[in-house]
Structure 1
Amino acid sequence: MAAKKEVVNPKAIIHKRFGDKAHYNIEEIQEYSSNGCPGLAIAQKGPCLYRCCLQLPDFSVVSEIFKRKKDAMQNAAEKALEKLSDPPVEDPSDQLVARLSYLFSDEFYATCHPLSGHFRAALHREDPLNGFVPVSIMPFYDSKISNLCKSIKPEVELKPLDVTSIIMEASGRLSDIVFASKEHFSLKRLSPYPLDVLQSVEVSCEPETYVKVIRVPYMVDESVDSLTLDVSSNKYYMDAIARELGVKDASRVLLSRGIGKASSETRLYFCSPKSYQLDLLSENEINEGSQDGENLNTRASYLCGQDIYGDAILATIGYLWKSFDLFHEDVSSRTYYRLLLNKVPMGIYKLSREAIFAAQLPPKFGTRSNWRGMFPRDILSAFCRQHHLPEPVFSNTTTAKNSPGSEESFKSEVKIFSKDRNLIFHCFPKESYKKQNDAIQHTSLKVLSWLNDYLMKVNTDGEMINGNGGDLVFYPKHISKELMGQIKSNCGRLLGFDDGNRDMVCEYRIEGAESEITAMSGCLVCVSYCVWLVSGEEREVVEKNEEFEFELGSEAVIPDLETVVGQMSVGQSVCFRTGFPSRELILAANGDFERILVLLSSGNCHLEYSTTLLRVTEPLEDRMEKALFSPSLSKQRVQYAVQHIKQSCATFLVDFGCGSGSLLDSLLDYPTSLERIIGVDISIKALARAAKTLHSKLSNNCTTLVKSSMIKSALLLDGSITTFDSRLYGCDIGTCLEVIEHMSEDQATLFGHVVLSSFFPKILIVSTPNYEYNVILQKSTPQSQEEEEDKNPTKPCKFRNFDHKFEWTRDQFQDWALELSRKHNYGVEFSGVGGVEGVEPGFASQIAVFRRGFDLPEGGDLKDVPYNVVWDWSTNE
């Protein structure tokens, strides 16, 4: 009689693969009966039905409706298996054995796999360890080993030390291939590798190779110090680390996960604790060769987000894909303190600005053009990655238009989950914004500000559980020890962000003659600064910045700097002194590390700042426009361009003088026919900001189900718009909005000639301020430019922006445009935005639309490409 075949149902398969990570949520659905009367107001209650939501680590599915809970759960599991498309058919224990067999084969030894480098290096170890590969390194350098161990025992994700026993047990089934040493927690191939295989992978490396690493003592009162390791090609670098940790061989050394970037080889190495060794070694052997590793290293644990015991070595070293050589980089003390700084939102922002002493994470998100550094959403994502949490989940809602003339608005919520999908944070602000991205950024900043308050205060009470006026909920019970166990005990004390530990400005003196351009709240200011660490008569530069921009009044810098800059005019300098911040903050900055240590050891230190106000971008124009126009002039100009794009069915647009990409960014919010966009500017910094903004929006748009634009390619170029580049030739529509007034009048005319005689756009839209409209904006009678220059040649004209080189009247602008159109056979029409046509003094922004009246001639030399590519994006990315 044949044996009865075991029936494996979908739910059992899901459990085998995901274990406790699979969560079944049953929803009761009440069925109602109206007794055949559709209009019956009070329905009779029917039988209960059930629907099941199955939540897996990467996705969730919802079942059909069933009368039994069991059927609903099975249906959800069945749907999940269909979505996975590759349900497990082989026992993970068998797969692990097969994987180990492959790892000790001739074929694997000759590959450029990170783990194969350890196999080759093990052959250089001295007897009796020759050929032995420590089990502890295997799951870190082979993802298949790691994933199979998690499938066999899901809890190893929280207890990584258990992986060793799983691998050792699996190796017991390969006794004819592998020798497993319980004493050394290592595996060794029984048969020697063939000579031809050994010769084929000879590593070319200098005889003597050294790398700098950092020791992080478990005793908090001991400082980290620098060491040098011998990692020469005829040795095994893990043994060198073991010697520094005071244990006899690499089998006693454990590794942390990578620190920093996902692909980083920067890790912490530490001695295995006694509790880890007891299962495999006798008590005598432990006491003989191991240090007491039961002491939790709080600093190292905080740095990598997992428990580290005893002293630890921070090193950047390992074997990489596609290389037989050992990869290594020096790790300095400055690197260590920057990694520490990068664990909190404030630190992430400071490092993104390369201004550890000057920058502060602003409490509010202002305009995108005035925000500097990483955007709040990016900082929040970086924070989650640093603490090994899933990416934050945003959900956006749209408020419908209440009337034909009103605009829709957006709200954004964000949720942060733990690794096992439990909710940690839920932020649901009540405020709405005109742009979806603004809603996302404001919500992200709310969470970041709350996190800073919570993490920087070691003794936070229960009042911080709910924050931001009831629009944020925090669930501390869902935060694992990996995230919060050491954060609160390290942030405030080690990073020293609390303003309470700094003195206010002791004194300052402003030097230099006053100019007419002064900084005021809302201005975008640019300063140069230098920070010295001072002890008595000795001083050392710890940070300097030649050009540092921030919006005055936004609290984007330390209060001391904002106070003094607010009293300066362009060209003036100031010196001021502050109290002593945390030692760790100083060591994370630039400067001569050894020299700084000498000054710190002398005691009685303080910081001294020297700053010069380089320029001020007055927000006068924006403030006036917002006060008088709704929507703003800038938005009206975008809408004007969108209208012409739609009418002409343009697919190729070039923005001449794109700056930080505000027009291109705004255009992506509208449905148009555009498929290709190019921006050109002479400012590398502005183009870099534009690239960051556009890349985020275009990349996110490609991943959404409903795309808001049809853009297939985008290009940002560094070059002068008065120089021809063939990549811009023959565009459907060119825009040059509020640009020419920043050039000299001769350069503006040259631009007009070049664009119409060489680029040949089908349509060219040029806008510039109407000088005559300033009487309304500034509520004063404008004098002619000639009269102002005669009165005081050195005094700048009363333009809308101090950076404007000229502002034309309507007659001046029309004369300029008509001359260009006649010379280059283009038609031209005049219009504008802001104001009413035919009513004095005209439009606030006057616009000329040039239209090509002839067929596009053959292009010039396609190799004529003087512009430099700053950013190139396509839908193939």
Structure 2
Amino acid sequence: MEAKKEVVNVNPKAIIHQRFGDKAHYNIEEIQEFSSNGCPGLVIPQKGPCLYRCCLQLPDLSVVSDVFKRKKDAMHNAAEKALEKLSDPPVKNPSDQLVSRLSYLFSNEFYAICHPLSGHFRASLHREGDLNGFVPVSIMPFYDSKISNLCKSIKPEVELKPLDVTSIIMEASARLSDTVFCSKELLSLKRVTPYPPEVLQLVEVSCEKGTHVKVIRVPYMVDKSVDSLTLDVSSNKYYMDAIAQQLGVPDASRVLLSRGIGKASSETRLYFCAPKSHELDVISGNESYDLFHEDVSSCTYYRLLLNKVPRGIYKLSREAIFAAELPLKFGTRSNWRGMFPRDILSTFCRQHHLPEPVFSNTTTAKTTPGSEESFKSEVKIFSKDRNLIFHCYPQESYKKQSDAIQHSSLKVLSWLNDFLNTDGDTINGNKGDLVFYPEHISKDLLVQIKGNYEKMLGFDGGNQDKMLEYRIEGVESEITPSNGCLVCVGYCVWLVSGEEREIIEKNEEFEFELGSEAVIPDLEAVVGGMSVGQSGCFRTELPPRELIFAANGDSERISVLLSSGNCSLEYTTTLLRVTEPLEDRMEKALFNPSLSKQRVQYAVQQIKDSSATFLVDFGCGSGSLLDSLLDYPTSLERIIGVDISVKALARAAKTLHSKLSNNSSVPIKSSCIKSALLLDGSITTFDSRLYGCDIGTCLEVIEHMSEDQATLFGHIVLSSFLPKLLIVSTPNYEYNVILQKSTPQSQEEEEDKNPTKPCKFRNFDHKFEWTREQFQVWASEIAKKHNYGVEFSGVGGVEGVEPGFASQIAVFKRVCELPEGGELKDVPYDVVWDWRRSNE
């Protein structure tokens, strides 16, 4: 909430007109805003409102304004710059420039312009007694960038020792003894001669009623609580004296300021005592130009801390402190919610006063005739003295340059999150394709990053070692979400203590992609078991208090509940709607039954024909294939699923356990199943428990791997796992033109539509999609090398009719018997779920 003070300012244009009349010419120029998009040499025009720049031509001077959205603001800025130059003749020596700048600050013209520091000068004339007219030196470099930059030029060390700025300004003011009085006792400056009546009229304000602003006191000792205070910052008083009073020091000259924290449009600063006795009681409030002020609460303070780390920045951008998590993968606009990774990384750098991230983009060569160019993006983060801190050089390539930038940004953010959750003494300088140089990062920044913000973000949605207990209510509908679906939920988080409860966070509509780990695991697990219209409820352990205060502004009420003990969080959520992935929507628009169901039916037929009893699903994900197979009568007795996502396997275990334990409303038809096992591991690593299975399936998996990894899997599975039969399916790239014409295009897809370009991949997570020829060459080569036969088929479409099947399938058949002694006891996979009928 903002409150405006009644302060009259003389228009800089009016002063220029009084001095130059018709000789002052304002030329307005409309400009197009451009952005480098973080890429050297790349300039992109930005869409948005018109912007204006003003050139003010005077008889002996010409100035150009900054860029503004309004013509009027550009003209005022040009006039203001002209007044500064007219009263501030150019000099080369930084010390002389500082003297000249101080002389201008105490001139009549400076009082008349709207400047962050001029408000303090005007307010100083309301100070009582001997303090009247004195301006504290400590505030000058914070509200006047020219003074700050000149002090750095005179003594570069002031960047690390900001208290030295005071002595530099005091020494410069001593050279202005005729116009400026320097009080070493008060550490303040005052104009020697009185201001003329026309200037004094500017500071005449009414005292009808006081103005009060909420601030918070942050104690130096971290075990003490944050207190809320109210300051009287009425327009007939100097608010810095009010702050000094609360800090217990004589006057504003003993108060020091921090840099601004938060957004530039609404800066918040820390005000603290000068380290005379090193007693650093800290108070946080909003500085004011004497035009506006804002209330600051403990909620504001904790959100500022939350905004210092990548996960916190993302949570705040989603307005979901308790539900949202920074996703591990970047998707398109259709399935990514909140600030984009690149924006989060830039915000992180700005929050910690680091230069903007530097991106370097390279184009990879075309691999096949007619294929598109792809892009890789490196990102570097430097310290203030231009030493390299982070260097991320991902090897993955992407069809869009913007996607490559987002993915490299997300890699750095993920590393930062991992770093925040580890001991600072175990810093790893290298992690895959990212290098970290801790020797180039300041100790202060390390303390900032790994300080109090770390424990605030320690909440992970409850103790994941415990079995999640929840209840789902409502009539089950036919619309249920699956991995990759975009779901929309409404949720509410309650702080519960006995019979008392208080809302902490509420969101009427909240979207996330199921399976992307963009929300806390408990919420994702519950929503994954619901259908549209149903509601779910579950409880988690209490997170750090700081996180609760950041979400809720009513700290007094919350503090009462927390002090009662035995508190927990209760989540209630309702599944509002489900949007299937674009790939599924395209397939359903053209095929009945859907391609996924046709693939299951194909696998079932192969099982029946081969009388298979032991099946392994390579890359089983959330168990959709295994779940579907249970709906058909087959000869299967033993099934194993393996995947690298533990959370996907947990969802698969929940679904399979319900069916196999006869807890499902739909009885299973494949009643011969005696054991089921879900394993966490890479399908490119051998595990003897999968050795020699009757049938192996790998349906729509390899395209999510790199082509090299897909080839490695082919060699490993046929040389080590040695299934009797292996079914591999993957999208037929040639069929995409038909699929993408069968469904309406989204706005983003419309922008990309170009008939001269090849078709897009069906899913943003696909690393490649092969033509029929490419797939057959790949399958034939690995089959021949490992003594397997291979036959090609598919589902969706008609055999022999162009462009072939929508999903192309290769069926590998082992030619010889299993070698004797080939089953080694090598079990690197971790067991996620083990079910046996005898132990049901």
Give TM-score, length-normalised by structure 2.
0.61
Matched residue, 1:573: 535
Using the alignment, how far apart are the partners of 2:399 and 2:481 within structure 1?
29
Matched residue, 1:64: none
AA in 1 matched with 2:127: R
Matched residue, 1:617: 579
Does structure 1 retain, via aligned residues, the 8 Å contact 2:255–2:271? Answer: yes
Query: Please, which of 161, 166, 169 is the counterpart of residue 167 of structure 1?
Result: 169
AA in 2 matched with 1:317: E
SS state at 1:410 partner = strand
Give a deviation string over 1:213-247, Cα, whole Å, max 9, x none. 01010000001111000111111100000010110
Using the alignment, how far apart are the partners of 1:450 and 1:205 within structure 2?
55
Matched residue, 1:663: 750
Query: Identity rate of aligned residues, in percent?
Result: 75
Query: Please, which of 376, 398, 401 is the counterpart of residue 433 of structure 1?
Result: 398
Query: Please, which of 270, 280, 288 is the counterpart of residue 318 of structure 1?
Result: 288
Give a deviation string over 1:742-762, Cα, whole Å, max 9, x none. xxxxxxxxxxxxxxxxxxxxx
Does structure 1 retain, via aligned residues, the 8 Å contact 2:472–2:534? Answer: yes
Does structure 1 retain, via aligned residues, the 8 Å contact 2:256–2:273? Answer: yes
SS state at 2:418 partner = helix
Give a deviation string over 1:721-742, Cα, whole Å, max 9, x none. xxxxxxxxxxxxxxxxxxxxxx
Query: Please, which of 124, 129, 138 is the counterpart of residue 127 of structure 1?
Result: 129
Query: Given the alignment of the two structures, is residue 413 of structure 1 paired with residue 516 of structure 2, yes or no?
Result: no
AA in 2 matched with 1:332: S
AA in 2 matched with 1:149: C
SS state at 1:357 partner = coil
Does structure 1 retain, via aligned residues, the 8 Å contact 2:123–2:203? Answer: no
Matched residue, 2:327: 362
Question: Structure 1 residues 660 and 228, CA, compared in 2 at 3 Å: closer, same or farther?
Answer: farther
Using the alignment, how far apart are the partners of 1:170 and 1:243 within structure 2?
29
Gaps of at least 5 residues in structure 2 are: 1-38, 42-89, 588-594, 597-702, 704-729, 759-793, 807-840
Question: Structure 1 residues 503 and 216, CA, compared in 2 at 3 Å: closer, same or farther?
Answer: farther
Query: Please, which of 249, 252, 255 is the counterpart of residue 254 of structure 2?
Result: 252
Matched residue, 1:423: 388
SS state at 1:328 partner = coil
Query: Please, which of 583, 589, 601 is the counterpart of residue 563 of structure 2?
Result: 601
Shift of 1:629: 4.3
Question: Structure 1 residues 158 and 840, CA, compared in 2 at 3 Å: closer, same or farther?
Answer: closer
Using the alignment, how far apart are the partners of 1:670 and 1:106 within structure 2?
65
Give a deviation string over 1:802-836, Cα, whole Å, max 9, x none. xxxxxxxxxxxxxxxxxxxxxxxxxxxxxxxxx85
Task: List aligned pairs for 1:678-757, cutoff 5 A.
Answer: none
Shift of 1:137: 0.5
Cα RMSD after superposing both structures: 3.2
SS state at 1:491 partner = helix
Gaps of at least 5 residues in structure 1 are: 1-57, 61-87, 275-291, 296-309, 320-324, 641-655, 672-775, 781-834, 842-877
Give a deviation string over 1:188-232, Cα, whole Å, max 9, x none. 111111112211453467531110001010000001111000111
Matched residue, 1:188: 190
SS state at 2:98 partner = helix
Using the alignment, how far apart are the partners of 1:387 and 1:358 within structure 2?
26
Task: List aligned pairs for 1:832-847, cutoff 5 A.
Answer: 836=802
SS state at 1:254 partner = strand
Query: Given the alignment of the two structures, is residue 543 of structure 1 paired with residue 545 of structure 2, yes or no?
Result: no
Query: Given the alignment of the two structures, is residue 380 of structure 1 paired with residue 341 of structure 2, yes or no?
Result: no
Using the alignment, how far apart are the partners of 1:104 and 1:665 within structure 2?
58
Matched residue, 2:699: none
Matched residue, 2:474: 512
Query: Given the alignment of the two structures, is residue 344 of structure 1 paired with residue 309 of structure 2, yes or no?
Result: yes
SS state at 1:485 partner = helix
Question: Structure 1 residues 486 and 563, CA, compared in 2 at 3 Å: closer, same or farther?
Answer: same
Shift of 1:662: 3.2
Query: Please, which of 446, 451, 457 is the counterpart of residue 422 of structure 2?
Result: 457
Give a deviation string over 1:583-630, Cα, whole Å, max 9, x none. 011111136332111111111110001111111111213576995442
Using the alignment, how far apart are the partners of 1:454 and 1:577 within structure 2?
28
Give TM-score, length-normalised by structure 1.
0.59
Does structure 1 retain, via aligned residues, the 8 Å contact 2:139–2:256? Answer: yes
Using the alignment, how far apart are the partners of 2:191 and 2:467 within structure 1?
67
Does structure 1 retain, via aligned residues, the 8 Å contact 2:462–2:540? Answer: no
Give a deviation string over 1:256-300, Cα, whole Å, max 9, x none. 1111113433111000112xxxxxxxxxxxxxxxxx3x25xxxxx
Using the alignment, how far apart are the partners of 2:802 and 2:159 within structure 1?
67
AA in 2 matched with 1:529: Y
Shift of 1:503: 6.8
Task: List aligned pairs for 1:777-788, cutoff 5 A.
Answer: none
Q: How many residues align?
A: 545
Using the alignment, how far apart are the partners of 2:544 and 2:170 within structure 1?
46
Shift of 1:109: 1.4
SS state at 1:318 partner = coil
Question: Structure 1 residues 91 and 666, CA, compared in 2 at 3 Å: closer, same or farther?
Answer: farther
Shift of 1:657: 8.8
Matched residue, 1:305: none
Using the alignment, how far apart are the partners of 2:734 and 2:197 within structure 1?
77
Give a deviation string over 1:436-492, Cα, whole Å, max 9, x none. 122111111111011001023344514x2211x2x1100001111332123213232
Question: Structure 1 residues 419 and 537, CA, compared in 2 at 3 Å: closer, same or farther?
Answer: same
Query: Given the alignment of the two structures, is residue 444 of structure 1 paired with residue 547 of structure 2, yes or no?
Result: no
Does structure 2 retain, via aligned residues, the 8 Å contact 1:317–1:326? Answer: no
Question: Structure 1 residues 208 and 353, CA, compared in 2 at 3 Å: closer, same or farther?
Answer: same
Question: Structure 1 residues 326 and 621, CA, compared in 2 at 3 Å: closer, same or farther?
Answer: closer
SS state at 2:385 partner = coil
Shift of 1:633: 3.9
Question: Structure 1 residues 665 and 588, CA, compared in 2 at 3 Å: closer, same or farther?
Answer: farther
Question: Structure 1 residues 547 and 235, CA, compared in 2 at 3 Å: closer, same or farther?
Answer: same
Query: Given the alignment of the two structures, is residue 533 of structure 1 paired with residue 535 of structure 2, yes or no?
Result: no
Does structure 2 retain, via aligned residues, the 8 Å contact 1:504–1:578? Answer: no
Question: Structure 1 residues 570 and 386, CA, compared in 2 at 3 Å: closer, same or farther?
Answer: same
Shift of 1:631: 6.7
Task: List aligned pairs for 1:226-375, cutoff 5 A.
Answer: 226-274=228-276, 292=277, 294=278, 310-319=280-289, 325-375=290-340
Does structure 2 retain, via aligned residues, the 8 Å contact 1:526–1:548? Answer: yes
AA in 1 matched with 2:282: A
Shift of 1:519: 1.0
SS state at 2:488 partner = strand
Stretch deviating more after TM superposition (201-210 or 584-593): 201-210
Does structure 2 retain, via aligned residues, the 8 Å contact 1:123–1:130? Answer: yes
Matched residue, 2:158: 156
Matched residue, 1:112: 114
Does structure 2 retain, via aligned residues, the 8 Å contact 1:505–1:578? Answer: no
Question: Structure 1 residues 459 and 420, CA, compared in 2 at 3 Å: closer, same or farther?
Answer: closer
